[in-house]
Amino acid sequence: MNLSPLQEARYVYQPKLPGMLRNGISEISVKIGSETSSVADQDKIKELFPNTYGKCEITFEKGKNTSEHKKQVVGVILSGGQAPGGHNVICGLYDALKATDPDNVLLGFKGGPSGLIDDDFIEFDDEFINMYRNTGGFDIIGSGRTKLETVQQFEQVTRVAKKHDLNAIVIIGGDDSNTNAAVLAEYMAAQGTGIQVIGCPKTIDGDLKNEDIEASFGFDTATKTYAEVIGNIERDANSAKKYWHFVKVMGRSASHVALECALQTQPNVCLIGEEVADMKWSLAEIADHVADSVAKRAAKGDNFGVVIVPEGIVEFVPEFSVLIAEINELLAGESGEEFNKLVDWASKEHFLEDGLSQNSMKLFALLPEFVQKQLFLERDPHGNVQVSLIESEKLLSAMVADNLRKRKKRGAYNGKFSPLHHFFGYEGRCAFPSNFDADYCYSLGYNAFMLIQYGYTGYLSKVSNLAAPAEEWIAGGMPITKMMNIERRNGEDKPVIRKALVELDGAPFKYFAEHRKKWATDTCYTYPGAIQYYGPSSVCDVTTKTLALEQG
């Protein structure tokens, strides 16, 4: 393998563990906390999880290790989108497992949850693990989006687990994957298999967090990567003074990534989907909000700027989600086939005119043709519009241009508007993990093994107090059922981990809202620069503004 100098250097970086895990395996004891109950729908969740509900939260402490000694064979999978630090979760898990007993075995199931079903695995050893320490990516075993949720799948997983004498399975994933980890844990307990299931909180989107899980791993590195490039774009904009840059950033269901990038770079405008939904803004109102900034800056002679747009923005616009719902309904089944058979765009438009409500058709007619067509690109497995295929940054800039033309006619604007577009998503998901993510992920993995060693199941590996130095982090575990409530999914009531959206009364959004008026007109850009791995802790170990503001 060809190694870059940074990769070689990162191989020997020793991730920092929370203080209570630093004295060696024989010096880690458990402190049992209080019993838990789910965040909502307690009776229903208790009924669905009779074996794993209500267990106690636990923290680890320095003290004599009282866990039972037995050979451990553990299986691990990576699930969902890549997030920086996934390799370190596996390294931490491996190191704790081998430090406990060199005969313990760690198997990595390949390609995500489907690896557990297909029994496609590798056994880790030192040589293999050492090639992935502190590196980005999920290529150590790959990942996938197969959902582990049916009884047939659980039966197959049990067969595979028994074949390898697995004592435990670790699922590294987001809210859906950890919901499935809880259901699998309950199944394993109900069947008396003795196989434990532990989850680890992953996603760059930052929407797997709650009062127990302060941050999902990967959010720190991904947002720093995007913020570096957005800062560079701001500096370019401020140098050339001729472009408005529309930057879309990943984050399908929540706007945490956009908000964090805004806090780090102070752009002229950042849209927050959760606010759009709360204010029930129409697309035209959003465009008007952006055009206000363009016009005010133009009046000062500044015909340039930067706008951050969250990937999922259109789904937060009430009129747009109605339009999408109507299209999904209209094109379901046979009428979808009929629509697909129409060859020219004009007949497709007629078809839609007959099927959509007046309001939706009015909105559809307002959309630029390239967006109208994107609504009919490849559909998801349920036959629904894939909202992520809509180039919302281009849609927005087209609507802003239209708004500015009208302002010009009224004599209310006399500037130049030249938009450029960017989408940052995949660029950040496999970056070398920041020191924070390298340390946090290693700790999550190490901690996950301690939960296994002490016999817990249905728990999420929990490392908290993350705004403090790693020495002061607190390691422990929380029953996943504590984070669950009942939600309607695909027409059914399901127990799921509640997704964390941006809270409009939370400290990060409030800080943004207090400052954005000035950012919209003045040039207040901040340039975070590249992630630093070596140097003073004040430069290398700082975590996100979101976490700092949330933790006060």
Q: Residues with catalytic annotation? A: 205
Minimum distance from residue 116 beta carbon to ligand FBP (Å)? 17
| Partners of residue 484 on adjacent β-strands | 497
How far is it, in rounded angstroms, from Cα 111 to Cα 267? Answer: 38
- Amino acid, single-letter form, for residue 163: K
Minimum distance from residue 321 beta carbon to ligand FBP (Å)? 17
**Candidate segments 187-195, 199-207, 362-370, 527-535, binder of ligand FBP by CB under 6 A:** 199-207
- Amino acid, single-letter form, for residue 326: E
495 is a contact residue toward ligand FBP (CB under 6 A): no
146 is a contact residue toward ligand FBP (CB under 6 A): no
250 vs 271, which CB is nearer to ligand FBP?
250
User: Exposed/middle/buried for 97, CB within 10 Å: 0-12, 13-18, 19+?
Assistant: buried
Minimum distance from residue 218 beta carbon to ligand FBP (Å)? 7
220 is a contact residue toward ligand FBP (CB under 6 A): no
**Candidate segments 12-20, 60-68, 203-211, 395-403, binder of ligand FBP by CB under 6 A:** 203-211
205 is a contact residue toward ligand FBP (CB under 6 A): yes
249 vs 317, which CB is nearer to ligand FBP?
249
Residues 356-395, one symbol each (x = binds ligand FBP by CB under 6 A, - = not), give --------------------------------x-------
Q: Which of 401, 414, 420, 427 is nearest to 236 (CA)?
A: 420
Are the C-beta atoms of 246 and 397 separated by less than 8 Å?
yes
**Candidate segments 48-56, 80-88, 125-133, 260-268, binder of ligand FBP by CB under 6 A:** 80-88
How far is it, in rounded angstroms, from Cα 463 to Cα 448? Answer: 10
3-state secondary structure of 467: coil
**Candidate segments 97-105, 197-205, 338-346, 440-448, binder of ligand FBP by CB under 6 A:** 197-205
Residues numbered 279-338 forming contacts with ligand FBP, rule: CB under 6 A? 311
Residues numbered 466-485 forming contacts with ligand FBP, rule: CB under 6 A? none
How far is it, in rounded angstroms, from Cα 311 to Cα 271? Answer: 10
60 vs 226, which CB is nearer to ligand FBP?
226
Q: Tokens at residue 539, please?
A: 């430069």
DSSP 195-220: -EEEEEEB-TT--S--SS----BTHH
205 vs 319, which CB is nearer to ligand FBP?
205
46 is a contact residue toward ligand FBP (CB under 6 A): no
250 is a contact residue toward ligand FBP (CB under 6 A): yes
**Candidate segments 47-55, 100-108, 198-206, 258-266, binder of ligand FBP by CB under 6 A:** 198-206
Q: How many residues bind ligand FBP (CB under 6 A)?
A: 13
Residues numbered 423-442 forming contacts with ligand FBP, rule: CB under 6 A? 429
How far is it, in rounded angstroms, from Cα 347 to Cα 341? Answer: 10
**Angle of helix 318-330 versus helix 345-355 axis, rounded to 10:** 100
433 secondary structure, DSSP code: P
Exactly one of 148, 204, 276, 291 binds ligand FBP (CB under 6 A); that residue is 204
- Amino acid, single-letter form, for residue 115: G
Q: Give the count of beta carbons closer than 10 Å to the beta carbon of residue 236.
A: 15
174 is a contact residue toward ligand FBP (CB under 6 A): yes
113 is a contact residue toward ligand FBP (CB under 6 A): no
203 is a contact residue toward ligand FBP (CB under 6 A): yes
100 vs 253, which CB is nearer to ligand FBP?
253
Are the C-beta atoms of 89 and 121 separated by less than 8 Å?
no
DSSP 257-307: HHHHHHHHH--SEE--HHHHHHHT--HHHHHHHHHHHHHHHHHTT---EEE
- Amino acid, single-letter form, for residue 159: R
How far is it, in rounded angstroms, from Cα 454 to Cα 457? Answer: 9
Q: Tokens at residue 513, please?
A: 């809202």
80 is a contact residue toward ligand FBP (CB under 6 A): yes
210 vs 388, which CB is nearer to ligand FBP?
388
3-state secondary structure of 547: helix
252 is a contact residue toward ligand FBP (CB under 6 A): yes
Exactly one of 251, 267, 310, 445 binds ligand FBP (CB under 6 A); that residue is 251
Minimum distance from residue 257 beta carbon to ligand FBP (Å)? 7
**Candidate segments 77-85, 125-133, 298-306, 352-360, binder of ligand FBP by CB under 6 A:** 77-85
Virtual CA dihedral for 399, 402, 407, 408, nearest 10 degrees?
A: 140
Minimum distance from residue 205 beta carbon to ligand FBP (Å)? 5
**Token pair 């996934």: residue:** 86
Binding region for ligand FBP (CB under 6 A): 80-81, 83, 174, 203-205, 250-252, 311, 388, 429
